[in-house]
Amino acid sequence: MKKDKTLGQVVEDVKYNQDLKGISYYEAAQHLSKTLPGALDDAIKDGHKQFKGDFYIEVMARIHKHLRKTFGIQMAVRRTCPQPNYSEMVYKYHRNDGRLEMLWALPPRNVAFMYMHGRIDDGDEDQNLKWVVEFETGVLIDKYRKIRDADNKIIQKE
């Protein structure tokens, strides 16, 4: 007898499986490397208009639901640091010295699983694996909390 899934189980299955459905991780990385530099420049310009101090750029990689093999990125310029999550990168723009710092880049959950089990061999494997392990063990969340607390102190002074 087949047991029905709860709504929560169905949602989790969809979230887990939609990340890279119909597209390879290599294809997604290639597309991102071509489109990201221009998109980051635009985000920096937007951040300069919106904020007086440092700001964060959140890059979310998504596979379009209805268009197979169509990969896109969504960007958000934020005053405070976003919480780490799968399928996203976070940069901090330091306004004083005009420097863009990558805080972390997390692959989709199923790709993170492959990194953890040694199934992906790419040139950036060491750094990507480090971020995945830090996320899975809570180290990256601790880093985020420290950044958030420092941001909150700056915002309170303003």
- 134-144 per-position pLDDT tens digit: 998 999 999 99
18 versus 134: which is more confidently predicted? 134
Residue 146, both tokens = 């420290």
19-60, pLDDT tens digit by residue?
444 455 555 566 666 777 888 899 999 999 999 889 999 988
Q: What is the pLDDT of residue 115?
A: 73
Q: How far apart are CA 134 and CA 53, in angstroms?
A: 28
The structural domains of the chain, with segments of one domain joined by +, span 18-157
Residue 107 confidence (pLDDT) above 80: yes
Q: What is the pLDDT of residue 22?
A: 47
What residue has token string 């310029």? 77
What residue has token string 């950044």? 147
Residue 14 confidence (pLDDT) above 90: no
Q: How far apart are CA 50 and CA 133, in angstroms?
A: 34
